[in-house]
Structure 1
Amino acid sequence: MAAGEAFRQDQIDRLNSARLLAERQTGIGFHVRVGAVAGDPKAAADRLLGEIVDGSPVAAVLVLVSPGQRFVRIVTTAAARRRIPDVAASLAALSMTSSFAVGDLVGGIASGLRQLADMAGPPSVSVPASAP
C-alpha cells in the first residue's frame, strides 16, 4: 500500500479482528492509528495515547504508523508496560517494519499486534486471600 492510499474494507476488517483478538487475549486496550503526524513522531504518539486514555490508569497500547513518513511507534501506558516491556515493543516494531518494507502494511500491523499480545499474555487474575 502506497502512502496516501485508503484501506479497503477487507483490510479494515483484518486490522479490527487482529486488534480485538489482542484485546480479548490480554485485557489490554490496543489502538492503531495510521497516517501522517505533525512534529516529532514520539511526542505525537505519546500525545495520542494520552488522549485515548484521558488520564485513566488503564492498560493500553498505541501502534502509530505513518507510511509516508516511514516510521512506526509503539507506546504503552504504565499499566501495559508492566506486561509489554519497551524491548518487546521494539522487537514488534522491527518485525512490522520488515513487513512494511515488502509492501505488506496490513499484515505487518496484524503481526505486530499478535506479537504484542503474545508478550503480554493473559490478564492476571487476582485471587482473594482466604479468611483464617
Structure 2
Amino acid sequence: MAAGEAFRQDQIDRLNNARLLAERQTGIGFHVRVGAVSGDPKTAAERLLGEIVGGQSAAAVLVLVSPGQRFVRIATTPAARRRIPDAAASLATLSMTSSFAVGDLVGGLVSGLRQLADVAGPPPESVPVGAA
C-alpha cells in the first residue's frame, strides 16, 4: 500500500478483528492510527494515546504509523507498560517495519498486534493461581 492510499473494507475488517482479538486476549485497549502527524512522532504518539484514554488509568496501547513519514511508534500507558516492556514493543516495531518494507502495511500491523498481545498475556485476574 502506497502512502496516501485508503484501506479497503476487507483490510479494515482484518485490522479490526486483530485489534479486537488482542483486546479480548489481554484486557488491554489496542488502538491503531495510520497517517501523517506533525512534530515529533514520539510526542505525537503519547499525545494521541492521552486523548484516547482521556486521563483514565486503563491499560492501553497505541500503534501509530505514518507510511509517508516512514515511522512506527508504539505508545503504552503505565498499566500496559507493566505487561508490555519497551524491549517487546521494539521487537514488534521491527517486525512491523519488515512487513512495511515489502508493501504489506495491514499484514505488518496485524502481526504487530499479535506480538504485543502474546507478550501481554491474559489479564492478571484471569491467570489461574499457581500458574506463571
Range into which the TM-score falls when normalised by the shorter chain: over 0.9
Q: Give, in whole Å, the separation in 2 of the partners of 1:126 and 1:83.
A: 14
Quick check: 1:6 aligned with 2:14? Answer: no
Query: Percent same amino acid among aligned pairs?
Result: 87
In the alignment, residue 69 of structure 2 is paired with which amino acid?
Q
Residue 45 of structure 2: aligned partner: 45
Deviation at 1:125, TM superposition (A): 1.1
Q: Which runs of 5+ in 2 are unaligned?
A: 128-132
Q: Secondary structure at the match of 1:36?
A: coil
Specify whether residues 102 and 82 from structure 1 end up closer, same or farther in structure 2 by C-alpha distance, changes over 3 A only. Answer: same
**For each residue in 1:14-60, what CA deviation from the matched residue of structure 2 results, as whole angstroms up to 9, or x when unmatched?**
00000000000000000000000001100000000000011100000
Aligned pairs for 1:90-109 (under 5 A) are 90-109=90-109
Residue 23 of structure 2: aligned partner: 23
Q: Give, in whole Å, the separation in 1 of the partners of 2:23 and 2:126.
A: 19
Aligned residues: 127
Larger radius of gyration: 1
Q: Secondary structure at the match of 2:68?
A: coil
Q: State the TM-score, normalized to the length of structure 2.
A: 0.95
Residue 86 of structure 1: aligned partner: 86
Deviation at 1:126, TM superposition (A): 7.4
Q: Which runs of 5+ in 1 are unaligned?
A: 128-132
CA RMSD of aligned residues (A): 1.1
Q: Secondary structure at the match of 1:73?
A: strand
